[in-house]
């Protein structure tokens, strides 16, 4: 039985086709989220990758901020629930999931069976989210995907405020004017995001294993800084950005069982 999960986020669209609730047979990930053409294209690509037609799908679940506007779904599920399912599927021992997406950050606590116990969401603020990294990368004229490489070469991370994206933007410009090395600035930026999210995570009882999900999980600079700040290693999967879509496909499978 094939099921399908689509995660329509604020900045990207992700799809996963699963077979029998265990095997990922097709995926897609496109820049452009809610309100763009990307969700439809992501669906097309994932089905093509899997070699499966829409008619062969037993169930479709949509998640992410655009979930309720996606009409071709049997289920609309909160992204926190889906990230929990997706992370547990990938790391069966995971108890704490830190999800940093394009416009928000969330922390999810699971019990040993993978059931959600608690969750927290960030304030309505760009600090501590992927948006913060996007803004900073834009100022530094560095592709956001290369931030981690710069971070790895840093000698002394700069101090960047973690309280406000707008103020932090001014700080970065000031630091550039003062001749601070680009690598040190990027490390400071990653540390700033990590600091903000670590504060959120500490409001929940952090139980290992801990993993990250969402687009920012790809950034080793943020991952390492976050690991240091919360005092736990952070598991990483190349599929971290797909956890929401994986969880949605699993949800559809469970419902159809």
Partner 1 sequence: MSVQEMNLQELLDCFHEVAHDPGKQMKKYLDEGKKVVLVAPVYTPEEVIHSMGMVPMGAWGGDIQLNEAKKYFPAFICSIMQSIVELGTKGVYDGASAIVIPSLCDSLKVLGQNWKYAVKDIPFIPMTYPQNRKPAFGRTFTKAGYERVAADLEKATGIKFEEDKLPASIDVYNAHNAAMRAVSEKLASHPEITNQQRSDIFKSATFMLKEEHTELVNALLAALDKAGASAKKTIRIMTSGILADAPDLLTILDENNMQIVADDVAAESRQYRTDTPDGDKAPLERLADKFAETDNCSVLYDVEKKRVDKIVEDAKKADAKGVLVLLTKFCDPEEFDYPLIKRACSAADLPCVLIEIDRQMVNYEQARTAIETFKDLLA
Contact positions toward partner 1, by CB under 8 A? 65, 68, 77-81, 104, 116-119, 121, 123-124
Question: Per the structure block, which two tokens stand in for 103?
Answer: 């416009």
In angstroms, the CA 111 to CA 215 distance is: 24
Question: Which residue, 6 or 136, is less far from partner 1 as judged by CB?
Answer: 6
Beta carbon of residue 73, minimum distance to partner 1 (angstroms, whole number): 14
Of 131 and 223, the one with the shorter C-beta distance to partner 1 is 131
Question: Phi and psi for 5 in degrees, rounded to 5?
Answer: -125, 135
Work out how close the CB of 5 gets to partner 1 at its nearest, in angstroms, rounded to a whole number: 15
Judged by beta carbon, residue 54 or residue 69, the one nearer partner 1 is 69
- Nearest Cα residue to 254 out of 8, 7, 18, 51: 18
Q: Which is nearer to partner 1, 150 or 253 (CB)?
A: 253
Least CB distance from residue 181 to partner 1, whole Å? 35
| Angle formed by the axes of helices 165-177 and 130-140, nearest 10° | 30
Compute the C-alpha angle 234/238/240, nearest 5°. Answer: 65
The least CB distance from residue 110 to partner 1, in Å, is 11
SS3 content of the chain, % helix, strand, coil (to 5): 45, 20, 35
Nearer to partner 1, 119 or 132 (CB): 119
Smallest distance from partner 1 to CB 80, Å = 4
């Amino acid at each position: 039985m094939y099921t399908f999960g689509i995660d329509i986020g604020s900045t990207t669209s992700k799809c996963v086709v699963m077979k029998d609730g265990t095997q990922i047979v097709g995926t897609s990930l496109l820049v452009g989220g809610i309100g763009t053409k990307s969700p439809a294209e992501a669906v097309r690509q994932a089905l093509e990758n899997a070699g499966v037609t829409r008619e062969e799908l037993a169930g479709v679940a949509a998640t992410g901020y655009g979930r309720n506007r996606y009409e071709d779904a049997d289920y609309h599920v909160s992204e926190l629930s889906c990230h929990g399912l997706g992370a547990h599927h990938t790391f069966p021992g995971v108890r704490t999931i830190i999800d940093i997406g394009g416009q928000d950050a969330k922390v999810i606590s699971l019990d040993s069976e993978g059931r959600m116990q608690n969750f927290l969401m960030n304030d309505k603020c760009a600090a501590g989210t992927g948006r913060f990294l996007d803004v900073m990368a834009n100022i530094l004229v560095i592709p956001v995907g290369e931030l981690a490489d710069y971070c790895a070469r840093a000698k002394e991370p700069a101090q960047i405020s973690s309280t406000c994206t707008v103020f932090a933007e001014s700080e970065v410009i000031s630091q550039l004017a003062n001749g601070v090395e680009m690598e040190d600035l990027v490390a400071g930026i990653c540390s700033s995001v990590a600091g903000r999210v670590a504060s959120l995570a500490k409001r929940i009882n952090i139980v290992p294993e801990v993993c990250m999900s969402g687009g920012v999980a790809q950034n080793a600079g943020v991952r390492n800084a976050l690991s240091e700040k919360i005092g736990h290693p952070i598991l990483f999967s190349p599929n971290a950005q797909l956890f929401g879509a994986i969880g949605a496909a699993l949800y559809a499978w469970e419902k159809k069982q």
